[in-house]
Amino acid sequence: MFSKYLDKYNDTLIFLILIPFINTINYHLTYTNIRWDWYTYTTYLIDTAQGYVAWWIIRVIIRFLDRRLPYDKALMKRLFLQLLLTNIFAQGFIILATVVINEIFGDHPLPIKFYTYNLFIFFIWILVINGIYIGMYFYDQWLKTQSLREKDKKLRLHGFEVQLGKTVETIPFESISAFYVDDGATYLKTKENKNFVLDNSLNKIMPLLPQELFYRLNRKFILHRDLIKNYSRDINGKLSVSIYQTKNLPDKIIVSRTIAPDFKRWVSITSHD
């Protein structure tokens, strides 16, 4: 996932406003007496520019990790690496830039306070920025979950429409046991063993079904959760799924190795136990 939530929530606008605000707070935390003269204005602008660059470094690292180690793949490892790398590179840039600027324009070495107190403040702000991005991600996931729930709720209310001559019949999802392909034709099978020929392929049918009720096991079968009895390991990481005896359907259906982990999660989540 290439950080879609970053673009969606316009983080650039947020931090264009936030960085000067953070720098203002830093000034009041660092200096007891602030002189409003050219020196203060100049150092404030330099520090703000450094803040923008440090934020951009953090953003680049987060986008890189989104591609290589998404949150949903290994959450704790991702959080640890994100906090570690953003602090190392952002703090490293701030130290290097400050030392170089001080060498060019300063009259004396940087005070020890910069390497203790100031860097500790920068560390806290880097944690805050990370927290904002992490919050963006989980908020985006929550919105997607809510959207899927609403979609599933609407689907369950309507059922699946079947064309019967010139009329359309709506079959409740709880009455459907499977969708399957046989001899090039696509069928809907009800729990009463009625078959309906459909015009659409399984690829087009699956998005119209509640995800908590139906799962596509392979290119030939979409099954209702209630039709699945159990599953066991097959050769080469595949799964052998046993289903309750149903006319026109096999007793066992093979699930490929690539789909197997997702299928097991779906069975666990939708279990009636």
If you ran DSSP here, which 8-state letter would residue 173 be given? G
Find, among 119, 66, 72, 125, the residue nearest to 97 by Cα: 119
The reported pLDDT for the residue numbered 114 is 73
Residue pLDDT, tens place only, 81-121: 999 999 999 999 999 988 888 888 776 777 777 778 888 88
The predicted pLDDT at position 156 comes to 63
- Pick from 57, 47, 58: which is nearest to 19 by CA? 47
Buried b (16+ CB within 10 A) or exposed e, 161-171: ebeeeeeeeee
User: pLDDT (tens digit, 9 = 90+) per residue, 186-198?
Assistant: 999 999 999 999 9
| Residue of 84, 79, 80, 89 lying closest to 137 (CA atoms) | 79
Q: What domains does the chain contain, in order, with CATH numbers?
A: 4-154 (no CATH), 160-269 (2.40.50.40)
Tokens of 260: 């197997």
